A and B are shown apart, each in its own frame.
Chain A
Amino acid sequence: MNFLNDPINFVASWLHGLLTGWRLPDGLATVIVYFIGIVVLVIFAMTLDIGLVWVERKVVARFQDRLGPNRIGPFGLIQPVADIIKLVIKEDITPAGADKIIYNIAPVLAAMSVIALWAILPLSSKIFGVDLNVAVLYLVAAGALGTLAIIMAGWSSNNKYALLGAFRMVANIVSYEIPMVVTLLIPVILADTMSVQGITQAQSGMWFAILSPLAAIIFLISAIAELGRSPFDLTEAESELTAGFNVEYSGMKFGWFYASELLHAFTYGGFMAVMFFGGYGGFFGLETIPGFHWLTNPFVEALVFIAKGMLGYWVIMWIKYSMPRIRIDHMLAFNWKFLTPLSLVVLVDTAVLSKLLSGLPAWEYVLGMFLSNVIIAVITVEILRGYGRKQRLAEERLPAQAVHN
């Protein structure tokens, strides 16, 4: 065991040795080492978050044909630091009639629900918080805490816009949780495990995005809804609700909501990579060829993972900055009448086919899974087209009748 092959365990065992060397009891030393590990992980996540502020502002500027921050530091790189200083020294306002304790806990809980996800995020085969055997469910559970934070913020602000924003957000999250959970089951079926390490390793030969592209797309859509980003940002809808659930927050308390939203988006980009794009691995067997063995180095894997996560984050931003906001009834109808049935069909298809085809050679298995997804997609598009046609004809007929009468 050396630093390059297994950095976390190397440092942890060194620290543990150091602490027990100071005559600390073994149990206490373990607790201290774990605690330091948690603090380091959180600091890493939050430092990355500062970078994400810059990335987000630069990328949105490119999408909108602007330059973005470019005054402070090279390429505006120090801009987020200036932003943070501004947020920290701003006056902290608590509205009259606000429920003070809940109002102050809400931003902490919002940030906590995102950082909790980092406990299971597998940065590489050796760098990760914990390899839970229920990691996929843990992802959903952390989302539940985020919902709670939004309700608390919206209710305690004593502001009708904040409360309306919170209601919309919860309607959004509660409904899109269903296709998300269903599509999360698909990697679980394909990998035969719920641990994120297991799911990543099961994709070393073939990404699940190729075995089940529909599931990957549904997961992306429901992840965007879960994040409350455009086109599902009804919770913020600044033209209707001023800013939604966080309208009353100022200074760093607003900063926590903002930071946790950005980190959440990146984290979901990372989970997108874990569930469907091979996570830190998934080199299609390239790493077994001599000369490419360095791909399995933990640091290389972590870089690959962050690159894939950033790519997912970029796709989420791309959609956010090029789609208009959808109406709330459209949003709910899209979920309940389209995404949920479709995800259930894909789930049943994956469960049945992966058992039926499991004996076949690898390429036939992959082709079969992929083709079944294509067939489902074609049928879905045909049904949608028929439905749209019927509606269009009905609309054309109505004014015609009015003229005849």
Chain B
Amino acid sequence: MENIGIVSYGSNIPRFRIKVEDIASVWGKDGASISKGLGIKEKSVPSIDQDTATISVEAARSALKRCSINPKEIGAIYIGSESHPYAVKPTGTIVGEAIGATPDLMVADYEFACKAGTAGIQSCTALVKANLIKYGLAIGADTSQAAPGDALEYTASAGGGAFIIGKENVIATINHTCSFTTDTPDFWRRAERKYPSHGERFTGAPAFFKHITNCATNIMKIADSKPEDYDYAIFHQPNGKFPIKVAKILGFSYDQIKQGLLVPYIGNTYSGATMIGLASILDVAKPDDRIFLTSYGSGAGSDGFDITVTEKIKDLKRENAPTVAQMIEDKEYIEYGTYAKYTDLLYWE
């Protein structure tokens, strides 16, 4: 593949946090044991004015602050989320307008559970390669939903990442990408339903692990690479255990995944998860660092990427926007009642 890749990046994590132990205590559960079992201490919570559109705008603005691209040169925006504010009416138009990229612009909202953001990166990469656009903006963001008392309530959180894709001033080349997709109903939300349903343990072996291991193996086959060839690796992180386990299965070490493993501190940001993980790595990456990324979306599929950081990363003004580590540290704890208000649990029909 010619030198097409990431030109700039940004991310956004809401500053409110709720501890797993606080959620557990409301339901009479053993918080310490749940926290240990899931490998997660706390999760981010969107405030009452934050949604996928605002998180996407913030992440996109951060990406633009770090580079010197004219937003009018962005020819496509794809936003992946399972919590688009509207069922009909795109999030992408809101973001396009907010960053000044309209009107000569391709826009579509994507949904593929937690991998819709990386699907957007693939689309932008293809459009740039086809010379149909100069720059594409791919965003993965969510304010994910979990029914009160459901196991997902401990992890479902909010956040997003934005990546500008192009072929000029590329800071990280996308060497290879591929996907592995099947119809596997492990997690879903029917139309008109407020909260998703899931297949409990079916979300593990036949879903998450099968798709990630197959996709990751395929990418390494295409790239003729081995786990030890990479400096960093990111796997989708629905909880703190799965990404560590899948890394071990594939032969990656904890040292390779730790920079991109954010779920213990912010929870599962769904479409934002691997995107923020990648942003966290780019916050510290050096030229020639090689990055391996495999996302996972229920339903189900995985997108795999083989990425190499270039010399241009030195020119990127990374300091112009907050790093992922800074956003993780900038937090304010709330208790369950406030959490319930902010996440609209207190509604009735």
Chain A partners chain B: no
